Every structure is written in structure tokens, then in C-alpha cells.
Amino acid sequence: MIAIIPAAGSGTRLLPHTYTIPKPLVYVAGKPILGHILGDLENAGIDRIGLIVGDRGERIIEYVESSYKFQVDHVYQRERLGLGHAIYLYLKEKNHDDKPALIILSDTIFEANLAEMLDSQYSTIAVHKVEDPRRFGIVELKGKFIKRLIEKPDSPTSDLAIVGVYFIRNVHLLFECLQHIVDKDIRTRGEYQLTDALQLMLDSGEEMTTFAVAGWHDCGTPDTLLQTNRYLLGRAGKSCDMPGNIIIPPVSIAESAVIENSIVGPYVSVAAGAQVTKSIIEDSIINEKASIRNALIRESLIGDNAVFDGQFSKLNVGDSSQITFGK
């Protein structure tokens, strides 16, 4: 079984952090976003990963190959022409045989029994009920089968949002449908959409069902990233004893992080090599090798190698930055 992971997006809504870090490698609750997804794939017994990468894609490939035991191959998406285009490129170059495939987006963390989804005798799309379906692709059902797929409808006829996990049994048909929309230049909102290809599959008689996920956590903006950090730490965060400090769980603090004379937590992730000195930190994500001194911060993202020496603030500081207030 292969899992195809589109990971070429630029992550503009997470700037300035994604100037230097590919969006899937942005840190949340103790590991990169992609790490949470790959852990679920391991647990489901998947042993092969197909990556679609763009700028700085070598960092994503290196992370997967160095941290996991998957068989990994990849293609580059030089032009970002949509999710459908990304999957088309991969299948054209690597795989469009009759074996089933799981397609899973690289920036959304979900809660689902993937093994159960992969047991389906039909192609299956993961869904979750949402309050505002206009922001998402949605599915319309007829009985247990999908009748229609609509990308970000202005007048939604369903509250079942597509969450970015697709189990496709007929991969060859998917490739033919993707090739059709690319060859005929069929675009929705300026891009080649995977949902349009899936609709062509439905129109050709392919039967598809839905699979409800218990949780769905967006990591696309600083606010939603912090919300996801809170949720994941609340579910699996740890408490720890660090003499000379007050640690309020749940937190995730890397073994190589240095905490001195500080209060950390709740809902704080501190990555490897980070240093926190004489500070109070709550509801924040501190990335690798960042340095925080004399600070009182909450609801903040501090990038790799950033230095913050100062006073109370709410920050969104990119990698390799330095902020110093009056002492």
C-alpha cells in the first residue's frame, strides 16, 4: 500500500515561518506537522510513501528518510497548479497501476482509524461535519454513496467537508480523469482540482463512500496552529520535572532543550536545542535552537534560531530573527 502525500505548498498563511521551513515541517506538539501524519500511516501498516514536493522539498525528503522506515520516492511540482495537478504529476511519473492508493494532505492532522478505512471495498473519502462548508470541498450523498463533489460552494447543499484523506481503489481511472482535466485545461478557481477528477470518476460509474473522522485539525495559520498545539498536548502532552523551574502540564519539551529559572506551560511546545531563561511562557510554540530570555509571552510562535530578549509581547517571529527590547 502506498500513501501519496502532496507537500509542495508554499504555506503563505504561515509566513514568516515558511520563508525558510516547508509548511509540513512546521513544529506542533512536539514534532513537525508531517510527523503526526506519518505516525498514523505507520500504525496503519503502510510501508511506502510517495512525496510531491516543491521549493526546499529536499528537506521534507530528508526528514522522512532519516526519521522513518518507509520506502520513499518523490516528484517535484515546479508549478503550483492545484492538488489535482500534483497528483497527476506523481501518477504520471511513478504509479498509475491497479493497486489502491491513499492520498493524504500534508498540513492537516486528523483522528481516524486508517486501517478501517483501508478495508473498504469501495473508494472512500474522509469527511467531517463543519459549520461553514463554503470554505471546503463538500460531498453530497445518495444513500451511503457519494452523488456529487463540489469545491468550495457558494451555496452549500451539504455540511460534510472533505478533510484531505482519500482512499482510491481504481487508481488507473483516477489517472485517466486527471489527465482529462489537464489535457482539456479544466480548472476550478484557476487550478486543476482533485475533486473535479473524482467527480469524473463518479460520472463514469465508480462507486465511492465516505468515512467520518473523529477529529480534524487545521495547521494553516498561526491561530489554528496554536489551537492544534493545544488540542494535541491536551490529549497526549506530558508533565515533567525540571528542578529550578515550574512546569505546568500539558507540555512537550525536547530532551536537548534548556529551561532555567522559568515557568513553562500549560500548552507549550519547546523544540530541540531551544533555551528558555528567566521567562514565563504559556500557550506557545518555541522552535529549534530559539533563545528566550527575560520574557513573558503567550499565544506566540517563535521560529528556529530566533532570539527574544525583552518583555511581555504577543509575537509571530520568523526563523533567524532577533528582537531585543530595552533592558
What was the pLDDT predicted at 318? 82
Quick one: CA dihedral 161, 164, 165, 169, positive or negative?
positive
Low-confidence ranges of the chain (pLDDT < 70): 95-97, 237, 311-313, 324-327
Rg of the chain, C-alpha, whole Å: 21
- Within 8 A by CB and 6+ apart from 223, the residues are none
What was the pLDDT predicted at 197? 95
Q: DSSP secondary-structure letter at 185?
A: T
What was the pLDDT predicted at 313? 61
- Grid-cell match 529550578, residue found: 244
Distance (Å, rounded) from C-alpha 215 to C-alpha 217? 7
Distance (Å, rounded) from C-alpha 181 to C-alpha 185? 6
What was the pLDDT predicted at 264? 96
Mean pLDDT of the residues in the chain: 90
Return the H-helix or E-strand segment holding 309.
strand 307-309
What was the pLDDT predicted at 312? 58
What was the pLDDT predicted at 95? 64
What was the pLDDT predicted at 153? 80
- Within 8 A by CB and 6+ apart from 265, the residues are 247, 248, 249, 250, 251, 281, 282
Long-range contacts (CB closer than 8 Å, 24 or more residues apart) made by 42-45: 42/68, 42/70, 43/114, 43/115, 44/114, 44/115, 44/118, 45/1, 45/115
Grid cell locating 287: 522552535
Q: Mind listing the domains of the chain with CATH numbers?
A: 2-218 (3.90.550.10), 239-324 (2.160.10.10)
- Within 8 A by CB and 6+ apart from 296, the residues are 279, 280, 311, 312
What was the pLDDT predicted at 112? 83
Each residue's pLDDT tens digit, 24-81: 999 999 999 999 999 999 999 999 999 999 888 899 999 999 999 999 999 999 888 9
Using DSSP's 3-state secondary structure scheme, residue 176 falls into helix
Task: Tell me the pairing of strands 160-168 and 101-104.
Answer: antiparallel
Each residue's pLDDT tens digit, 279-308: 999 999 999 999 999 998 999 999 899 999
